[in-house]
Amino acid sequence: MKLTDSQNTLIQAPFDRKIFLEGPAGAGKTTTGVARLVFLLLSGVPAERILVLTPQRTLAVPYNEALYHPEVAAGGVVNVATLGGLARRMVDLFWPLVVEEAGFGKPNERPIFLTLETAQYYMARIVAPLVEEQGYFESINIDRNRLYSQILDNLNKAAVVGFPYTEIAERLRGAWVGESAQARVYDQAQECATRFRRYCLEHNLLDFSLQLDVFFAHLWTEPLCRDYLLNTYTHLLVDNVEEDTPVAHDLIYSWLPHAESALIIFDQDAGYRSFLGADPVSAMALREMCDECVTFHESFVASPPVQALGNALGRVLQPGAASTPLGTSPADFKAVLHFESCRYHPDMLDWTADTIAGLVHNDGIAPGEIVVLAPFLTDALRFSLTQRLEQRDVPVRSHRPSRALREEPATQTLLTWAALAHPQWGIVPRNYDVAYALMQTIAELDLVRAQLLAEVLYRVKDKTPALASFDGVNPDMQQRITYIFGGRYEALRLWLDAYRAGAPAPLDHFLARLFGEVLSQPGYGFHQDFDLARVAAMLIESVQKFRWIAADLPADKPLGQEYLEMVQRGVIAAQYLEPWQTPDETTVLLAPAYTFLLSNRPVDVQFWLNVGGTGWWERLYQPLTHPYVLSRRWPKGQPWTDTDEVTMRQTMLYRLVLGLVRRCRKAIYLGLSELGEQGYEQTGPLLKAVQRVLRVQ
């Protein structure tokens, strides 16, 4: 890759320089950071002396890939980590030093680190009795898994911002200006958080918030641990620092005076993870600890017309924030801005699919260089657009982190067979569940024949589910179903019968065997379907981690049964953080706008759907938490008013739009419909901003 003189100067800077690098997205900052890492390694800096910090693992992909550079010598290992990963390693390494001081109940036992979903499982054990027996949260209507996740989010906010978790309710109450009944909800959420923390300390369980609290309160202040980190990692590379949290900035701030060299990379007009605690203001404080501040201005991604479009939108959304001359007119960018106004939402989807098909088949644009974005990627939108693109012979994939693992067809199929293989658990699938599982399991089996199989052969007697033999079906029905499908069904049934005849295995072992011995074989639906195999692997990993963590606690039922029941209640498999997939040049990507932004990769063409919808600037309803009140930017006790809400939304929309435009090379297509997905008229702020830009003469 050809680098500019400014990039080369920074890459080859002396090893005793600490540099703060800032600029807009697409200016080559991460490319410079990766090249600096390779330069350090090629210049003889030991790999084990280098620490690369990013806010999340997906943003570290370029650095991990650089370590496989053919010129980089083998021998040492560069530590590429997030703050959470670093804290976990230090807690695990120095556990004997802190176990008693931190107040854990089992000082002679190892720590148990919780994942997101296992933390929700234990939160459910604490909160469910309070909800069902004492009427907690009766004044709000919210799904259980969201209830648990918001209480955990409060704990996480306290940890990443750096205030005691016991102040959560006080801070939320101090900012609330509505009905007084909401204060009681905050107090109940505080009580649940306190009980959960107490339970974790008693059983040596560490969720994300407790890992950070232990690290900062007991390890970073411990000379042995602090000296270990400062003396081990003397060269720091910190990318996307604006997306990291205040405590991460505190850590880097106190680390920099002891480092030999450092490169801190800051993305201007960003801070997309503010709902997760990101704080660009505290990140800017790191400038004063650096020897030199460098700013990159030139974009290596967006073409001049695309940049003109972004600047014009930015000037409208945040007057005074954009640097564009006021004379920008539609003529500067009309060649890269395309739109079609439709009356109904399905018409907009048809236009989108037709346009993408034309770009792929006629204009030669690789599908991987096209991304379709919406504020929220609902199941209906995902299915409708995927179907339309596949009908036009356009390969497509979607990435939606909020999509529950339990909602995936492969998950439902595997758990249905698990229930039938363990009738002693007393979990009885519905006829429709069995029919759906048969359709997914047996290749080319349609829903009609699957329903016939379920109606004829699925039996429930004394609350015990079982499958009958295909041989017992009358010949007419056998011919209607066909003997090919019947034979595949019979092989599955015999495998389940053989399993039931033996000793029950752990659920993850059972699922792995079922996938390997039956579902992945020729004639079955998982054969050569990599998406289904990926979901199956995620489910098996989820069950495995649940078994590892929950195995030591007293239980009145098998862990497999407990897992399935928690799935049915919406607790386990509610969120499973799948790593961002390697960019696929063969498929169009469907994703939520923020998800795409946090992948930090450019594309040639972007489609923005439902531009008139309010989802582009609204935040999710969260009755138990508030990401902006629980931050260092908000004074404790100051009310959060409607004016503050509107200002925050306008700022986030400005950042979102600029972030998307700066990651687009050639063109942006706007999907407009007078009536939205729910049938309501769409006149949202983003649409109004586009209209204002187009009216400029």
Same domain as 549, residue 452: yes
For residue 75, the model assigns a pLDDT of 67
Three-state SS annotation for 261-323: EEEEEEECCCCHHHHHCCCHHHHHHHHHHCCEEEECCCCCCCCHHHHHHHHHHHHHHCCCCCC
Region at 75 (left for phi over 0; alpha for psi -120 to 50; beta for the rest)? left
Note down the domain range covering 348: 304-403+581-695
pLDDT one-digit tens code per residue, 334-363 = 889 999 889 899 999 999 999 999 999 999
Neighbours of 620 (CB within 10 A): 11
Neighbours of 431 (CB within 10 A): 12
Cβ neighbours of residue 361 under 8 Å, at least 6 residues apart? 393, 394
- Residue 519 included in any domain: yes
Neighbours of 31 (CB within 10 A): 17
Neighbours of 191 (CB within 10 A): 17
- Residue 273 included in any domain: yes
| pLDDT at 693 exceeding the cut of 60 | yes
Q: How many domains does the chain have?
A: 4
Same domain as 524, residue 460: yes
Q: What average pLDDT is seen over the chain?
A: 90
Same domain as 433, residue 501: yes
Q: Residue ranges of the alpha helices (H) in 203-222?
A: 208-214
Query: Cβ(223)–Cβ(216) under 8 Å?
Result: no
More confident residue, 245 or 545: 245
Q: Whole-angstrom Cα distance, residue 69 to residue 40?
A: 13
- Residue 353 included in any domain: yes
Least confident of 126-130, 238-242, 471-475: 471-475
Tell me which of 295, 326, 355 is where a domain ends: 295
Q: Which residues face 238 on adjacent strands?
A: 53, 264
- Residue 574 included in any domain: no
> 574 pLDDT band (50/70/90 cuts)?
very low
Percent of the chain with pLDDT over 70: 94
Q: Which residue in the block uniquely carries the two structure tokens 């209480």?
A: 151
> 22 pLDDT band (50/70/90 cuts)?
very high
> String of b and e for 110-135 (b: at least 16 CB within 10 Å)?
ebbbbbebbbbbbbbbbbbeebeeee
Q: Which of 670, 677, 645, 647 is nearest to 339 (CA)?
A: 670
Query: Cβ(265)–Cβ(241) under 8 Å?
Result: yes
More confident residue, 69 or 457: 457
- Biggest alpha carbon–alpha carbon distance for the chain: 85
Element (H, E) at 515: none
- Residue 186 included in any domain: yes
> 681 pLDDT band (50/70/90 cuts)?
confident
| pLDDT at 136 exceeding the cut of 90 | yes
Tell me how long the chain is: 697
Q: Whole-angstrom Cα distance, residue 53 to residue 56?
A: 9
Same domain as 233, residue 211: no
- Residue 573 included in any domain: no
Same domain as 535, residue 445: yes
Q: What are the distances in angstroms from CA 599 to CA 55, 273, 560, 580, 591?
A: 12, 12, 35, 7, 11
Same domain as 84, residue 175: no
What's the CATH number where 393 sits? 3.40.50.300
Q: Which residue in the block uniquely carries the two structure tokens 């280098």?
A: 50
For residue 676, give both structure tokens. Answer: 């939205």
pLDDT one-digit tens code per residue, 67-109 = 887 777 666 789 999 999 999 999 999 999 999 999 999 999 9
Q: Whole-angstrom Cα distance, residue 564 to residue 566?
A: 5
For residue 555, the model assigns a pLDDT of 66
Q: Whole-angstrom Cα distance, residue 361 to residue 392?
A: 10
Angle at which helix 181-202 crosses helix 168-175, to 10 degrees, equals 160
For residue 58, the model assigns a pLDDT of 85
Tell me which of 295, 318, 345 is where a domain ends: 295
Tell me which of 267, 295, 323 is where a domain ends: 295
| pLDDT at 397 exceeding the cut of 90 | no
- Residue 68 included in any domain: yes
Cβ neighbours of residue 308 under 8 Å, at least 6 residues apart? 324, 328, 332, 333
> How many helices (DSSP H) and strands (DSSP E) are in the chain?
27, 16
Q: Whole-angstrom Cα distance, residue 85 to residue 108?
A: 24
Same domain as 73, residue 9: yes
Task: Give mean pLDDT, residues 576-605.
Answer: 78
Q: Whole-angstrom Cα distance, residue 605 to residue 366?
A: 10
Same domain as 318, residue 285: no
| DSSP state string for 577-633 | -PPPPPP-TTSEEEEEHHHHHTTT--EEEEEE--TTSGGGT-----TT--TTTSSTT
Q: Which residue in the block uniquely carries the two structure tokens 């920008």?
A: 328
For residue 323, the model assigns a pLDDT of 45
> 265 pLDDT band (50/70/90 cuts)?
very high
Least confident of 129-138, 600-609, 681-690: 681-690
Same domain as 392, residue 370: yes
Least confident of 70-74, 273-277, 443-447, 501-505: 70-74
Task: Give mean pLDDT, residues 532-545.
Answer: 89
| pLDDT at 563 exceeding the cut of 70 | yes
For residue 276, the model assigns a pLDDT of 86
Q: Whole-angstrom Cα distance, residue 95 to residue 111?
A: 8
Same domain as 412, residue 390: no
Q: Whole-angstrom Cα distance, residue 60 to residue 1?
A: 19
Query: Cβ(606)–Cβ(664) under 8 Å?
Result: yes
Task: Give mean pLDDT, residues 259-272.
Answer: 94
Q: Which of 685, 669, 689, 664 is nearest to 305 (CA)?
A: 664
464 three-class SS: strand
Same domain as 308, residue 279: no
> 403 pLDDT band (50/70/90 cuts)?
low
For residue 602, the model assigns a pLDDT of 93
> 324 pLDDT band (50/70/90 cuts)?
very low
Same domain as 231, residue 178: no
Cβ neighbours of residue 642 under 8 Å, at least 6 residues apart? none
For residue 70, give both structure tokens. Answer: 């053919």
> 554 pLDDT band (50/70/90 cuts)?
low
Q: Residue ranges of the alpha helices (H) in 515-570?
A: 530-550, 559-568
- Residue 209 included in any domain: yes
> 328 pLDDT band (50/70/90 cuts)?
low
Query: Cβ(432)–Cβ(452) under 8 Å?
Result: no
For residue 376, the model assigns a pLDDT of 87
For residue 666, give both structure tokens. Answer: 């050639």
